[in-house]
C-alpha cells in the first residue's frame, strides 16, 4: 500500500459564535497591559483537516487547530512530499522523516502540530486497512469504558456557574474542571473572587467528586505560591498550567510546594519535551494533545515514558485521537470532555467538522471494538457555516 495523495483544507468558522465576557479565563496575555479581550489569541475558530489517500482507496483523517492556515502551508509545501509514495505502515520512518527534515525551523509549535495531523491520518489508514480501531493497534482495551470529566465552567456569574455545574451533575459526571478568571494584575480582590468561584462550584458538586482548576498560563510563580495554600481546603485534584509552558523551573518548584498536584503539557511537544518535565518532576499529571504533541506515534511513546515515572496521562480536549490513546494504556486513567456547545473558544468545532465522536453516558466514554480506524467521518451538516480553503 502506498500514499498517493495528501489534501489539507482549512475550515474557518463563519457561523454563530459566543463572545466570552471579561475575566472569562486567565491566560498568558494577562501579564501585558493590553486592554480588551485577552483570550482572542487562544480561540481556535479554524481547523486544518488532512485527508491522506492510498492506492487501495483508503482515506485517513487527521486534524490540527493551531494556526491552521500556516499548518496547511507546512503540510502542502514541506510534509506532503516527504510521505508521498510511501507505505503508511512505515509510520515510524515517516514520522522521523518529517521531524528530522524540519528540525532547523520546526521541533515545536505549529510545525509539530502539522506533523501531528499527518500522523493521525496515517494511523486512521492503518486501522481501516486491517479493519480494527486504532486503540486495538496501540495496546487494545485496558478499560471497560473511559471515565471522563466535564470541562467547561469558564468564569461567569457565580449563579450561572452553579447552574452549569448542576447540569453536569444531572448528566452523571463525577469529575469537573473550572477556569479561573483573575490573576496577578487583579490583586487581593481577584484572589478573593477566584476563591469564591471555587467555593461556589464545590457547593454544588460536593466533596465526593473530583474538581480540577485551570489557570491557562495566566498566573506567575509568586502569585501561584501565594494562592496555593488558600486553595488546599477545596481539595482540587490538580492545578493546571499556572505559569507559561517554558517556565519548567517554575513548574518544578510549584509541584513540590504544596499538596495540590500541578498539571501541564498541553503546550509541550515530543517525547523530548516530556522527558524534561518528568526528569525535573515538574508535573504530576501530563496533558498533551495528540494533534499537537507529534501525533499518535509521539503520544504512544510519551505514554510509555509516563508509565515508567508513574505519572498519569490525561490528554487535553478529549476528541477521538486522544480517546484511542487513553483506552489503550494504563497510564491514562481518564479523559477530558468538552461539552457540545455553541462555538466559543473553538474546541467545540470538532463536533461541527467531524461525526463519530462518542457522547458520554453517566460520565463515561465508550469506544466501539468494531469501528475501523479512528471512527470519524467528515460532517456535511454545517458546511455552509465554514469558509473552506483548499
With residue 365 as reference, give the H or E element that holds it.
Answer: strand 364-365
The catalytic residue positions are: 316
Task: Report the C-alpha gap between 254 and 225 in whole angstroms.
Answer: 7
In this structure, what C-alpha cell is assigned to residue 150?
466535564
Q: How many CB atoms lie within 10 A of CB 123?
A: 26
C-beta of residue 299 within 8 angstroms of C-beta of residue 95 = no
Spell out the alpha helix ranges (H) of 144-186: 158-170
In this structure, what C-alpha cell is assigned to residue 55?
492506492
C-beta of residue 227 within 8 angstroms of C-beta of residue 258 = no
Q: Tell me the Cα Rg of the chain.
A: 20
Task: Report the C-alpha gap between 345 and 47 in whole angstroms.
Answer: 13
Q: What angle do CA 178, 30, 201 make, to 5 degrees?
A: 15
Amino acid at each position: 500500500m502506498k500514499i498517493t495523495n495528501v489534501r489539507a483544507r482549512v475550515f474557518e468558522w463563519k457561523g454563530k459564535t459566543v463572545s466570552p465576557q471579561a475575566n472569562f479565563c486567565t491566560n498568558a496575555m494577562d501579564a501585558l497591559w493590553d486592554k480588551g479581550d485577552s483570550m482572542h489569541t487562544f480561540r481556535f475558530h479554524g481547523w486544518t483537516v488532512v485527508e491522506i489517500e492510498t492506492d487501495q482507496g483508503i482515506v485517513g483523517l487527521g486534524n490540527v487547530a493551531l494556526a491552521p492556515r500556516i499548518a496547511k502551508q507546512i503540510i502542502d509545501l514541506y510534509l506532503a512530499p516527504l510521505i508521498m509514495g510511501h507505505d503508511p505502515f512505515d509510520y515510524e520512518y515517516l514520522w522521523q522523516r518529517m521531524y528530522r527534515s524540519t528540525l532547523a525551523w520546526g521541533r515545536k509549535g505549529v510545525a509539530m502540530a502539522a506533523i501531528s495531523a499527518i500522523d493521525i491520518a496515517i494511523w486512521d489508514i492503518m486501522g481501516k486497512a486491517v479493519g480494527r480501531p486504532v486503540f486495538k493497534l496501540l495496546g487494545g482495551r485496558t478499560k471497560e469504558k473511559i471515565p471522563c470529566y466535564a470541562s467547561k465552567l469558564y468564569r461567569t456569574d457565580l449563579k450561572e456557574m452553579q447552574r452549569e455545574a448542576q447540569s453536569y451533575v444531572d448528566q452523571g459526571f463525577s469529575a469537573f474542571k473550572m477556569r479561573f478568571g483573575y490573576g496577578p494584575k487583579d490583586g487581593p480582590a481577584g484572589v478573593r473572587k477566584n476563591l469564591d468561584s471555587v467555593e461556589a462550584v464545590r457547593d454544588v458538586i460536593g466533596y465526593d467528586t473530583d474538581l480540577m482548576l485551570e489557570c491557562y498560563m495566566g498566573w506567575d510563580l509568586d502569585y501561584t505560591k501565594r494562592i496555593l495554600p488558600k486553595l488546599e481546603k477545596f481539595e482540587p485534584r490538580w492545578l493546571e498550567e499556572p505559569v507559561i509552558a517554558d517556565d519548567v523551573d517554575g513548574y518544578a518548584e510549584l509541584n513540590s510546594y504544596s499538596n495540590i498536584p500541578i498539571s501541564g503539557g498541553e503546550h509541550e511537544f515530543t517525547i523530548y519535551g516530556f522527558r524534561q518535565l518528568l526528569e525535573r518532576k515538574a508535573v504530576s499529571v501530563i496533558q498533551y494533545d495528540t494533534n499537537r504533541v507529534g501525533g499518535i506515534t509521539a503520544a504512544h511513546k510519551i505514554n510509555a515514558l509516563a508509565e515508567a515515572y508513574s505519572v498519569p496521562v490525561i490528554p487535553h480536549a478529549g476528541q477521538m485521537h486522544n480517546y484511542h490513546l487513553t483506552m489503550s494504556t494504563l497510564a491514562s486513567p481518564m479523559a477530558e470532555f468538552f461539552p457540545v456547545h455553541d462555538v466559543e473558544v473553538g474546541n467545540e468545532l470538532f463536533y461541527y467538522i467531524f461525526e463519530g465522536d462518542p457522547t458520554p453516558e453517566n460520565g463515561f466514554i465508550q469506544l466501539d471494538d468494531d469501528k475501523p480506524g479512528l471512527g470519524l467521518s467528515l460532517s456535511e451538516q454545517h458546511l455552509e457555516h465554514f469558509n473552506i480553503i483548499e
